[in-house]
């Protein structure tokens, strides 16, 4: 991958990293709540780049090396996060991007697809939800794990153990959880984060939807990717997304929870490369 760079968006700086040839179709990867770009793993990005894509991952506000909001009071909402994504595309000289919104950032992806369709070549909703009230809620085991008190950030070992345990909970009953691999990512994320605790600000932001409609107004090609065993948004959320978006296609990752395990990278990469291929090549 290319070296990390800082892009200024108003009074905010965002840490951005790319892989591949800028002349190839661009994929903008947006991770979910409290997750930095490390969650879009370097090897995964390189695989997508090897498939002929220009891949962009970045630290959203309050994660990694990007600007953090002190004091637990984020002065931004989901529409601001969508504007950040557009600003990154602008800074990289990209007229359009294929947007991938994961978990919380499915909301960001929806805003981009509905309110800015001229900038979005396609959209992928991964491990996310329509938010319909009739859908099943998170598992009790997941709720118990994420509601456990967090240790002090400056207690390195305790913090790492806590984050690993939370990520394990996001995988639910999946047998694909790789603790050694996850622990390495958590250590890397902690080492490069300006303020690891600030990422929890994502759970406090307002989440307004698009100005010009909802899932039924998505007019760009749409892909839905969902883990079979997701304990956060159980699989019916994936079916609901597919059904709500005109022409959407659903890919279910067998045996996967809310996360994207390395054991399912082949399926994910193949689906995303097919989805983002130039129209004549599909």
pLDDT tens sequence across 267-276: 999 999 999 9
Q: How far is CA 100 from the centre of its chain?
A: 7
Task: With residue 27 as reference, give the H or E element that holds it.
Answer: strand 26-30
pLDDT tens sequence across 111-157: 999 999 999 999 999 999 999 999 999 999 999 988 888 898 889 99
pTM of structure: 0.96
pLDDT tens sequence across 170-207: 999 999 999 999 999 999 999 999 888 888 889 999 99
Q: Which of 62, 80, 84, 230 is flagged as catalytic?
A: 230
Q: Which of 103, 127, 139, 174 is flagged as catalytic?
A: 103
Q: Which of 31, 226, 258, 275 is flagged as catalytic?
A: 258
Contact 148, 125 (CB under 8 A): no
Closest residue by Cα to residue 262 from 198, 207, 180, 200: 180
Stretch 49-73: mean pLDDT, rounded? Answer: 92
**What secondary structure letter does DSSP report for 139?**
-
Contact 86, 42 (CB under 8 A): no
Portion of the chain with pLDDT greater than 90, in percent: 87
Closest residue by Cα to residue 269 from 225, 221, 218: 225
Contact 98, 121 (CB under 8 A): yes
Active-site residue 243, yes or no?
Answer: no
Is the per-residue pLDDT at 71 higher than 70?
Answer: no
Around Cβ 65, how many Cβ atoms within 10 Å?
A: 18
Closest residue by Cα to residue 242 from 225, 228, 224, 258: 224
Closest residue by Cα to residue 226 from 241, 240, 239, 238: 238
- Provide the pLDDT confidence category of residue 282 given band limits of 50, 70 and 90: low
Active-site residue 103, yes or no?
Answer: yes
The three-state secondary structure class of 126 is strand
Is the per-residue pLDDT at 24 higher than 60?
Answer: yes
The dihedral built from the CA positions of residue 255, 178, 182 and 26, taken in this order, carries a sign that is negative
Residue 186, CA atoms < 13 Å, CB-side half-sphere: 20
């Amino acid at each position: 991958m290319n070296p990390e760079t800082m892009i200024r968006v108003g009074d905010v700086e965002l840490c951005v990293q790319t892989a591949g040839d800028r002349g190839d179709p661009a994929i903008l990867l947006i991770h979910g709540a409290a997750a930095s770009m490390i969650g879009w793993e370097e090897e995964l990005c390189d695989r997508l780049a090897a498939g002929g894509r220009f891949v962009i991952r970045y630290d959203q506000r309050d994660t990694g090396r990007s600007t953090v909001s002190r004091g637990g009071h984020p002065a931004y909402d989901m529409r601001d996060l969508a504007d950040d994504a557009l600003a990154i595309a602008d800074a990289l000289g990209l007229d359009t991007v294929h947007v991938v919104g994961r978990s919380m950032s499915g909301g960001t992806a929806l805003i981009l697809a509905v309110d800015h369709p001229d900038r979005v070549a396609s959209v992928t909703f991964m491990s996310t939800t329509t938010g319909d009230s009739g859908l099943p809620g998170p598992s009790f085991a997941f709720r118990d794990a994420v509601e456990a008190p967090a240790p002090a950030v400056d207690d390195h070992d305790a913090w790492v153990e806590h984050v690993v345990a939370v990520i394990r909970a996001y995988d639910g009953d999946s047998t694909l959880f790789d603790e050694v691999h996850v622990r390495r990512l958590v250590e890397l994320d902690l080492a490069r984060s300006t303020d690891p605790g600030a990422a929890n600000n994502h759970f406090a932001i307002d989440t307004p939807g698009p100005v010009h409609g909802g899932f039924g107004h998505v007019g760009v090609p749409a892909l839905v990717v969902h883990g079979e065993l997701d304990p956060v948004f159980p699989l019916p959320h994936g079916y609901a997304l597919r059904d709500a978006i005109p022409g959407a296609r659903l890919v279910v990752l067998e045996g996967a929870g809310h996360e994207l395990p390395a054991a399912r990278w082949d399926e994910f990469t193949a689906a995303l490369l097919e989805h983002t291929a130039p129209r004549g090549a599909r």
